[in-house]
C-alpha cells in the first residue's frame, strides 16, 4: 500500500494559511465578518482559487474559520467576555492620592495573589471621578471597589449604566448616595464616635464642641455615638455646640482639604466662640481648625485642643498637635476585598451592607 505524502510546510497553501492566521490576529477581518468570495481572495493574495480553497479548508478544520451553508466562510464571532475573564480588580476613589494608600494595602491583603489591583484616584475631582467609573467599567474588570462621598448629596456617576455591565461592585463608606444594588462596607460612625466619647470621658474633657462638614443627616450617627458615651458621665454636647460647615473650596482644583474648616473656625473665633475641646470627623478639617486656632493666638492644647475621630494623612501639616482615635481604613478595605471576592465567586448572593467596627469584625449585615 502506497502512503500519501504529508503536506510540507513550504507548500503554497500552508504558507497562505500562516499569513491568513496572522491577518486574523491583526484584525484584518473582524469577528463575525463574512470573508470575501474565493475569487476576490485569490486576487488579494495573488494565488490560484484552488490554493485559496485548500487554505480555507485547513483553517476551517483548525476552527480558525467557520463554514456556513450557501454563504461561504466567515470569522468566528468573538466569545462574550464576562468580568470574570479579567483578573483585574479596580479600586476607584475620590480621595486624595495619599489617602488611598491604606485602603490599597487592605485590598492587596484580601485579593493577592489571585487578582491584580488597579488603583484609580480622582484626587477630589468629582467630574473626573465620574469619568473614571465609566472608563474603568469599559475595561470589564473582574470587580470594582468604589469610595467617594458626594459633597452635593447627588450621585457622582451613572449607577444604572454601571449596574448593566454586570461587574460585581463593593462600595466603601456610607456617603455614596447612588442607588446601586451592591455590597457596601461601612465603618459605622456611631462606633467610631462612641470610642472618641469614651476617651473624652476618660480625660474628663467637658467643654466640648463638634465641628463637621457632614450634613445633618450624615452626622446624626456620629452625634448619637458621642452622646451615648458622654451622657452617663454628665458631659453635655448640646445642639448649639454642633456646627456644620460647607466645603466648596476643598474640592476645587487643586484641592485644599483644610481651607473650608479653617475659614469657618476663624469666623467662629472672631465672633467670640471659645471651648476647651473641638471634635471633628477626620484630620483634614482638624488641621484647618487647628490653623485657625493658632492664628487667633490661642495656645494648643493648653487653652483649646482638637480631636479627630478618623485619621487621614495630615500629620505633617500639624505635628504633635492632633489627637486621632479611630484608624482602620486598611482593615475596612481588607473586608471590602473579602466581600468582593465572595461576590465574584458567587454572583447570585444577595447584596448586603456590612457594618465594620474594628479588626475583621462585621456586625449588622443587612440586605
DSSP code per residue over 123-172 = TT-HHHHHHHHHHHHHT--SEEEEE---TTSS-SS-HHHHHHTT--EEEE
Positive or negative, the Cα torsion across 219, 224, 226, 230?
positive
pLDDT digits (tens, 9 = 90+) for 193-250: 888 898 899 999 999 999 998 878 778 888 988 999 999 999 999 999 999 998 877 6
As assigned by CATH, the class of the 12-74 domain is mainly alpha
As assigned by CATH, the class of the 189-326 domain is alpha beta
Positive or negative, the Cα torsion across 278, 281, 285, 287?
positive
pLDDT digits (tens, 9 = 90+) for 141-174: 999 999 987 767 788 899 999 999 999 999 988 7
pLDDT digits (tens, 9 = 90+) for 104-135: 988 988 898 889 999 999 888 888 999 999 99
Q: Are domains 84-181+329-366 and 189-326 of this chain identical in fold?
A: yes
> Which of 173, 118, 171, 108 lies closest to 142 in space, CA to CA?
118
The residue extents of the domains of the chain are: 12-74, 84-181+329-366, 189-326
Determine if the peptide bond prior to 113 is cis (ω within 30°).
Answer: yes
DSSP code per residue over 201-238 = HHHT--SEEEEESS-HHHHHHHHHHHHHHHGGGT----
Determine if the peptide bond prior to 254 is cis (ω within 30°).
Answer: yes
CATH of 84-181+329-366, picked from 2.40.100.10, 3.40.50.300, 3.40.50.970, 3.40.50.2300, is: 3.40.50.2300
pLDDT digits (tens, 9 = 90+) for 270-298: 999 999 999 998 888 988 999 999 999 99
Which H/E stretch holds residue 20?
helix 12-26
Amino acid at each position: 500500500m502506497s502512503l500519501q505524502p504529508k503536506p510540507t510546510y513550504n507548500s503554497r497553501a500552508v504558507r497562505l494559511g500562516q499569513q491568513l492566521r496572522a491577518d486574523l490576529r491583526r484584525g484584518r477581518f473582524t469577528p463575525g465578518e463574512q470573508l470575501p468570495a474565493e475569487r476576490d481572495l485569490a486576487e488579494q493574495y495573488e494565488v490560484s482559487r484552488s490554493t485559496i480553497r485548500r487554505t480555507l479548508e485547513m483553517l476551517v478544520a483548525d476552527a480558525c474559520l467557520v463554514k456556513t451553508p450557501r454563504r461561504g466562510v466567515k470569522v468566528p464571532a468573538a466569545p462574550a467576555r464576562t468580568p470574570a475573564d479579567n483578573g483585574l480588580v479596580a479600586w476607584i476613589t475620590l480621595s486624595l492620592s495619599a489617602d488611598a494608600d491604606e485602603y490599597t494595602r487592605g485590598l492587596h491583603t484580601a485579593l493577592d495573589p489571585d487578582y491584580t489591583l488597579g488603583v484609580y484616584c480622582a484626587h477630589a475631582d468629582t467630574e473626573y471621578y465620574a469619568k473614571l467609573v465609566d472608563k474603568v467599567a469599559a475595561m470589564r474588570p473582574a470587580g470594582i471597589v468604589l469610595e467617594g462621598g458626594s459633597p452635593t448629596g447627588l450621585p457622582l456617576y451613572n449607577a444604572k449604566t454601571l449596574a448593566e455591565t454586570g461587574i460585581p461592585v463593593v462600595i466603601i463608606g456610607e456617603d455614596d448616595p447612588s442607588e446601586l444594588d451592591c455590597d457596601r462596607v461601612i465603618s459605622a460612625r456611631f462606633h467610631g464616635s462612641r470610642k472618641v466619647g469614651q476617651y473624652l470621658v476618660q480625660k474628663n474633657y467637658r467643654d466640648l464642641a463638634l465641628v463637621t462638614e457632614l450634613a445633618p443627616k450624615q452626622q446624626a450617627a456620629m452625634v448619637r455615638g458621642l452622646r451615648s458615651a458622654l451622657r452617663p458621665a454628665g458631659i453635655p454636647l448640646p445642639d448649639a455646640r454642633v456646627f456644620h460647615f460647607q466645603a466648596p473650596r476643598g474640592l476645587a482644583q487643586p484641592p485644599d482639604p483644610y481651607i473650608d474648616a479653617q475659614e469657618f473656625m476663624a469666623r467662629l473665633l472672631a465672633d467670640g466662640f471659645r471651648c476647651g475641646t473641638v471634635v471633628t470627623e477626620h484630620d483634614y478639617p482638624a488641621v484647618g481648625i487647628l490653623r485657625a486656632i493658632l492664628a487667633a493666638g490661642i495656645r494648643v492644647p493648653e487653652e483649646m485642643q482638637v480631636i479627630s475621630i478618623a485619621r487621614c494623612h495630615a500629620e505633617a501639616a500639624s505635628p504633635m498637635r492632633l489627637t486621632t482615635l479611630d484608624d482602620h481604613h486598611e482593615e475596612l478595605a481588607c473586608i471590602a476585598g473579602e466581600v468582593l471576592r465572595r461576590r465574584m465567586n458567587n454572583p447570585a448572593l444577595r447584596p448586603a451592607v456590612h457594618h465594620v467596627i474594628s479588626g475583621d469584625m462585621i456586625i449588622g449585615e443587612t440586605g
